[in-house]
Chains A and B, each alone.
Chain A
Amino acid sequence: MSKRRFLNYLGLTVSTLSALIGLFFLFWIIISLIYKGFHYLNWNVFTQNAVAPGDNGGGLKFAILGQLEVVGIASLIGIPIGLLAGIYLSEYGKDSFTSNVIRNICDAMTSIPSIIIGIFIYALLVVPMGNFSALAGSVALSILMIPIVISSVDNILRLVPNELREAAYALGAPKYVVIFKVVVKEAIVGIISAILIAISRVLGETAPLLFTSFNSNFESYKLNKPIGTLTVTMYDYAMGPYDNWHHLAWAAAIILTFSVLLFNIASRLFSYWRFSH
């Protein structure tokens, strides 16, 4: 066998093995989660609220709805800002000094530990307001989302061929029409999958919520009051002494993992749909 062919096989084997190792751990996590936690998932988990510690039964309704509210409002804040900033970078800023500075800051921000963002919002919103609030949690999550949305929208829009823009300009379209009716329309599928990825990124976060939206054992959805969330409740229940809490923590883990998976798969399907058209 020639040396080149041997190296080819070697490289192929090593990379296939690496891929399998990655997949192995992903499936291990999912399968052990289903194996250990699936039988704790029942209708009550979705329809009941928390009961006092040590009592049996109860569910996670307050935390599931709370999580949806916090992530929903975070998306309402984060997605428009990220989208518009991404459009600015790709269509107006281009390769100017300012936009490169913004790009670098975005890259740096995606790697900031999320607990730091939580503490930042604690100092910025919670201490001055004198109260933990659902809104503070949403703001913390939106700060996590914004840089992700900005850099992916920027990258996606820059993939749109320049000829399309030129053609629209040649027909006399003003810039905002070119951007919204030509560039964004061309890239809409990529933008939606980027948004879904950003949502799934913040869906499983606990650290930024600990000191912002706090947690609550009661059902309350007010924006200016602490709110129960699935991630923080799961953490509390998993570390507590009672079996019933551990069961609910397993159920919460399954709900969270599968929602994140669902968002990821949805974003994959969107990009697949784009290429098949």
Chain B
Amino acid sequence: MVLTQSKWVRAVAFFAVCIALLFSAKISYAGGSINGAGSTFAYPVYTKWAFEYEKATGNRVNYQGVGSGAGIRQVSQRVVAFGGTDKCLTKEELGKRNLIQFPSMVGGIVIVVHIPGIKNNQLKLSNAVISKIFMGKIKYWDDPQIEKDNSGLKLPHLGIVIVHRADGSGTNWNITYWLSQISRQWNQKVHYGLSVNWPTGVGGKGNMGVASYVKQIKGSIGYVEYAFWLQNHLTNVDLQNKEGKWVAPTVATIREAAAKANWQPSKGFYQVLVNQNGAKTWPIVSGTFVLIPKEKSPKYKQAAEFFKWGFNHGDKAAEKLGYIPLPRSTKKLIFNYLRENGF
């Protein structure tokens, strides 16, 4: 089995040629290429934009959804050209890491249910009722407190099963923050955070985990991001916003929250979008943010160029995927902010 000398030489030469071929892979391209990492929520849109951006400019942007926490860490360590995060950083944190921050789009979180006979936008759950449901205080769908707001509906005598996220996530943060805003009891007993001690229910991993549990379990109620509600054909409920008006989750009502928000570029656009003012505003809305290092480098310049392109050409693609683009007024603020920072 021992190779003769000439065979050894041939084998080594073969591997050398293989590796040389890999390095100079013919599948190369003229443009530059940068990497980004972070929010899984933003992954489909940035990827869709990246495919179109490559067609339009020849530059490649490879974005991977590794989670907001990892995205913040990796852009702070400068191993990627930009980071994506659903949890916005404060001015102090941005200064410490020498980053700029701006929102790229907004997303709504939709309460979904699985009750036989109930279709989209039929069930109305008031703030008082929904916080009691998530606390485990209301146990059946035909409870008089639910029926009060839904006089026309025939609700079955079916146990309520709460489906929540098992993993820590920005979606969890937003929904628990909203529950804390509408219910004092929730704020005292459970409070809000990336992961909380849910009083009752079953946990699913990621949006997809929650969506498939809600599909499987009769009588379940859960929460998913708008895109997952749209793609998985789940049944949504209508909610009350800050002004007490009934609203349905639509592109318009979610965009309204971004338009009503008081964005401040000097603070790196730090802004919680839950429970914004306005009669037509969907109450559970969150932004997703981009982090780019401030240093002068072609990599970071390319990252900023990519998002400028996305703001100008990417709205339709984002809407088709179930995401809500920023209003024009907000985009204008971002363009100014980028210019001020030398991008």
User: Are B47 and A52 in contact (CB-based, < 8 A)?
Assistant: yes
What 1/0 mask marks residues of chain B from 60 to 75 whose CB sits below 8 Å from any chain A CB?
1011111000100000
Query: Is B2 interfacial (CB-CB < 8 Å)?
Result: yes
Which of A14-22, A39-47, A217-225, A261-269 interfaces with chain B? A217-225
Give the Cβ gap from B78 to chain A, nearest Cβ, in Å.
6
User: Are A185 and B47 in contact (CB-based, < 8 A)?
Assistant: no
User: Are B44 and A241 in contact (CB-based, < 8 A)?
Assistant: yes
Given contacts A127-B77, A132-B35, A243-B231, contact A221 B27 (CB under 8 A): yes
Q: Can you name 27 A-B residue pairings with CB atoms under 8 Å?
A: A51-B51, A52-B47, A52-B52, A52-B317, A53-B43, A53-B48, A53-B321, A54-B321, A69-B22, A127-B79, A132-B79, A181-B2, A185-B1, A185-B2, A215-B64, A217-B50, A218-B54, A220-B27, A221-B25, A222-B23, A226-B35, A236-B64, A236-B65, A238-B208, A239-B206, A240-B208, A243-B231
Please name all residues of chain A whose beta carbon is closer than 8 Å to the beta carbon of B50 when the two chains form the complex.
Answer: 217
Query: Is B84 interfacial (CB-CB < 8 Å)?
Result: no
Given contacts A130-B79, A217-B50, A236-B64, contact A241 B227 (CB under 8 A): yes
User: Are A53 and B47 in contact (CB-based, < 8 A)?
Assistant: yes
Query: Is B322 interfacial (CB-CB < 8 Å)?
Result: yes
Query: Is A184 interfacial (CB-CB < 8 Å)?
Result: yes
Question: In this complex, what residue of A is CB-closest to B54?
Answer: A218
User: Are A180 and B51 in contact (CB-based, < 8 A)?
Assistant: no
User: Are A76 and B15 in contact (CB-based, < 8 A)?
Assistant: yes
Question: In this complex, what residue of B is CB-closest to A214?
Answer: B64
The size class of the interface chain B forms with chain A is 35 or more
User: Are A220 and B321 in contact (CB-based, < 8 A)?
Assistant: no
Query: Is A143 interfacial (CB-CB < 8 Å)?
Result: no
In the complex, the 9 A-B pairs of residues with the closest C-beta atoms, listed nearest first: A53-B44, A52-B51, A241-B231, A52-B48, A221-B25, A241-B228, A216-B62, A239-B206, A215-B64
Please name all residues of chain A whose beta carbon is closer than 8 Å to the beta carbon of B51 when the two chains form the complex.
Answer: 51-52, 217
Query: Is B187 interfacial (CB-CB < 8 Å)?
Result: no
Query: Is A210 interfacial (CB-CB < 8 Å)?
Result: yes
Give the Cβ gap from A76 to chain B, nearest Cβ, in Å.
7
Give the Cβ gap from A182 to chain B, nearest Cβ, in Å.
10
Chain A residues engaging chain B, CB cutoff 8 angstroms: 51-54, 69, 76, 126-127, 130-132, 180-181, 184-185, 188, 210-211, 214-226, 236, 238-243
User: Are A240 and B64 in contact (CB-based, < 8 A)?
Assistant: no
Give the Cβ gap from A84 to chain B, nearest Cβ, in Å.
14
Partner of B43, one of A76, A236, A238: A236
User: Are A217 and B47 in contact (CB-based, < 8 A)?
Assistant: yes
Give the Cβ gap from B323 to chain A, nearest Cβ, in Å.
11
Partner of B60, one of A53, A130, A218: A218
Complex CA–CA separation, A123 to B192 (angstroms): 33
Complex CA–CA separation, A165 to B27 (angstroms): 51
User: Are B208 and A239 in contact (CB-based, < 8 A)?
Assistant: yes
User: Are A214 and B44 in contact (CB-based, < 8 A)?
Assistant: no
User: Are A241 and B35 in contact (CB-based, < 8 A)?
Assistant: no
User: Are B79 and A126 in contact (CB-based, < 8 A)?
Assistant: yes
Please name all residues of chain A whose beta carbon is closer than 8 Å to the beta carbon of B25 when the two chains form the complex.
Answer: 220-222
Complex CA–CA separation, A215 to B1 (angstroms): 39
Query: Is B162 interfacial (CB-CB < 8 Å)?
Result: no
User: Are B208 and A210 in contact (CB-based, < 8 A)?
Assistant: no
Complex CA–CA separation, A236 to B47 (angstroms): 12
Give the Cβ gap from B306 to chain A, nearest Cβ, in Å.
14
Excluding A54-B44, A130-B78, A240-B43, 20 further A-B contacts by CB distance (< 8 Å) are A52-B51, A54-B321, A132-B79, A181-B2, A211-B66, A211-B70, A214-B35, A216-B64, A217-B47, A217-B50, A220-B33, A221-B22, A222-B25, A223-B23, A236-B43, A240-B208, A241-B207, A241-B208, A241-B211, A241-B231
Query: Is B37 interfacial (CB-CB < 8 Å)?
Result: yes
Query: Is B174 interfacial (CB-CB < 8 Å)?
Result: no
Please name all residues of chain A whose beta carbon is closer than 8 Å to the beta carbon of B121 when the two chains form the complex.
Answer: none
Query: Is B281 interfacial (CB-CB < 8 Å)?
Result: no
Please name all residues of chain A whose beta carbon is closer than 8 Å to the beta carbon of B321 when the two chains form the complex.
Answer: 53-54
Question: In this complex, what residue of A is CB-closest to B205?
Answer: A239
Give the Cβ gap from A146 to chain B, nearest Cβ, in Å.
19
Please name all residues of chain B whose beta carbon is closer than 8 Å to the beta carbon of A226 when the two chains form the complex.
Answer: 35, 62, 64
Question: In this complex, what residue of A is CB-closest to B33?
Answer: A225
User: Are B322 and A239 in contact (CB-based, < 8 A)?
Assistant: no
Question: In this complex, what residue of B is CB-closest to A176?
Answer: B2
Please name all residues of chain A whose beta carbon is closer than 8 Å to the beta carbon of B43 when the two chains form the complex.
Answer: 53, 236, 240
Please name all residues of chain B whose beta carbon is closer than 8 Å to the beta carbon of A242 when the two chains form the complex.
Answer: 44, 231
Question: In this complex, what residue of B is CB-closest to A210?
Answer: B66
Question: In this complex, what residue of B is CB-closest to A224?
Answer: B23
What 1/0 mask marks residues of chain B from 209 to 243 whose CB sits below 8 Å from any chain A CB?
00100000000000000011011100000000000
Complex CA–CA separation, A150 to B250 (angstroms): 59
Within 8 A of A (CB), among B294-330: 317, 320-322
Complex CA–CA separation, A52 to B228 (angstroms): 17
Query: Is B40 interfacial (CB-CB < 8 Å)?
Result: yes
Question: In this complex, what residue of B is CB-closest to A232?
Answer: B64
Give the Cβ gap from B211 to chain A, nearest Cβ, in Å.
8
What 1/0 mask marks residues of chain B from 75 to 90 whose CB sits below 8 Å from any chain A CB?
0011110000000000
Give the Cβ gap from B318 to chain A, nearest Cβ, in Å.
10
User: Are B27 and A188 in contact (CB-based, < 8 A)?
Assistant: no
